[in-house]
Amino acid sequence: GGSVFSLWTCGVPFPGSISRVLYTFAVALQVVHPKTDEQRCRLQEACKDILLFKNLDQEQLSQVLDAMFERKVKPQEHVIDQGDDGDNFYVIERGLYDIVVAKDNQSRCVGRYDNHGSFGELALMYNTPRAATIVATTEGALWGLDRVTFRRIILKNNAKKRKTYELFIESVPLLKSLEASERMKIVDVIGEKVYQDGERIISQGDKADCFYIVESGEVKILIKSKTMTSKEANQEVEIARCHRGQYFGELALVTNKPRAASAYAVGEVKCLVMDVQAFERLLGPCMDIMKRNITHYEEQLVAMFGSSMDLLDPGN
């Protein structure tokens, strides 16, 4: 659809002459791509788990959704080319997309988006050339957000996020070895999620796509052991608790396997959540610490169940 500029006046119509005056003085003009109800529904569904949108207030989110536009893509289409200037940020409605990074004259596929997630934020956030090429490998549907709206709303929100989370992120033991600037890049891409008492955060056996740091409250980790007798096998056994500053959900991302255990909120819980692409891009320096802790999981499972088979072959 075509884009119209509407004044930032909550949709109240103004006569032409007044509009022109207001237009001149309006500090922020808002991009609006009109959408049908059906499009709006699909857009809302595609955006509901987008981490960069999690910390927006309602007004900011509705401005973002108003500004988004639909883009259909064909197999082999390059949505983004590495080295280009950044024009849009994209949210995936459907389709598979390869992430290709060229370095030292070699192109390598470093990951893939599978029917959800988002990409294209880096060039817009940091005013840098596109850091990767994104190629659709199937037919797909995307929702784009223009650079100006992205910077006006998401960057402003990120400044607030940095203030809110800076001290906390500095206190997270796992992230101690990172430079201050690297920790800020983590803050830029995380989203906060809130869970109610008893709510399941991770399900054993599920495909994994994010990583969690506990900001407040308590998370319990439960496992259904395959090494127990069938009567016991359907029972979940508590194996760990995570508190403020601790992390979970890294194992499946590191091993590329389904979730090894389930995680539940104990009381109200707030987590900072990072997607797998950001995890791989930003937490490389912390990998040794995580791997060392994974050997502790194995020892713990051996002590409890006589085997750590669950970590090698999770699933239900």
* Contact criterion met (CB below 8 Å) for 211 and 279: yes
Cα separation, 68 vs 62, whole angstroms: 10
Is residue 108 part of an annotated ligand binding site?
A: no
Cα end-to-end span (Å), the chain: 45
* Given 46, 51, 52, 80, the residue binding ligand CMP (CB under 6 A): 80
Find the part of the chain contacting ligand CMP (CB under 6 A) among 69-77, 140-148, 159-167, 248-256. 248-256
> Is residue 132 part of the contact set for ligand CMP (CB under 6 A)?
yes
Instruction: Tell me: is residue 40 an annotated ligand-binding position.
Output: no
- Quick one: which of 95, 281, 282, 305 contacts ligand CMP (CB under 6 A)? 281
| Member of 138, 227, 300, 307 binding ligand CMP (CB under 6 A) | 300
Give me the residue label for tokens 């990767």: 132
The nearest distance, CB 114 to ligand CMP, in angstroms, is 13
Choose, by CB under 6 A, the member of 49, 67, 86, 178 that binds ligand CMP. 86
**Tokens at residue 64, please?**
């973002």
# residues contacting ligand CMP (CB under 6 A): 35
Helix (H) or strand (E) holding 268, with range, is: strand 262-275
Name which position in 240, 266, 302, 309 contacts ligand CMP (CB under 6 A): 240
Q: In 3-state terms, what secondary structure has residue 206?
A: coil
SS (H, E, C) 29-40: CEEECCCCHHHH
> Considering only CA atoms, which of 121, 49, 116 is closest in space to residue 281?
121
- Judged by CB under 6 A, the stretch of 20-28, 67-75, 121-129, 161-169 that binds ligand CMP is 121-129
The answer to whether 214 contacts ligand CMP (rule: CB under 6 A) is: no
Task: Report whether 259 belongs to an annotated binding site.
Answer: yes
Residue with tokens 């669950």: 310
In angstroms, how far is CA 146 from the centroid of its own chain? 19
Q: Using an 8 Å Cβ cutoff, are 85 and 129 in contact?
A: yes
Residue 73 is a binding residue for ligand CMP (CB under 6 A)? no
Using CA of residue 303, residue 307, residue 310, residue 311, what is the dihedral sign? positive
Least Å distance between CB 26 and ligand CMP?
A: 28
Nearest CB to ligand CMP, comparing residues 18 and 287: 287
Burial class of residue 280, CB neighbours in 10 A (0-12, 13-18, 19+): middle
65, β-bridge pairs: none
| Residue type (1 letter), 300 | Q
**Interaction with ligand CMP in 134-153: which residues (CB under 6 A)?**
134
Q: Is 259 in the site for ligand CMP (CB under 6 A)?
A: yes
Q: For residue 243, what are its two tokens?
A: 């508190």
Residue 131 as a binder of ligand CMP (CB under 6 A): the answer is yes
| Residue corresponding to tokens 């119209």 | 4
Asked if residue 277 binds ligand CMP (CB under 6 A), the reply is: yes
CA 139 to chain centre: 23
Strands 262-275 and 96-103: unpaired
Among 70, 94, 111, 174, binds ligand CMP (CB under 6 A): 111
Exactly one of 130, 152, 161, 183 binds ligand CMP (CB under 6 A); which one?
Answer: 130
Binding of ligand CMP by 183 (CB under 6 A): no
Write out the binding residues for 3',5'-cyclic AMP.
Answer: 121, 130, 250, 259
Can you say which residues are annotated as belonging to the binding site? 121, 130, 250, 259
Residues that bind ligand CMP (CB under 6 A): 80, 86, 99, 101, 110-111, 119-123, 130-132, 134, 202, 208, 221, 239-240, 248-252, 259-261, 263, 277, 281, 297, 300-301, 311
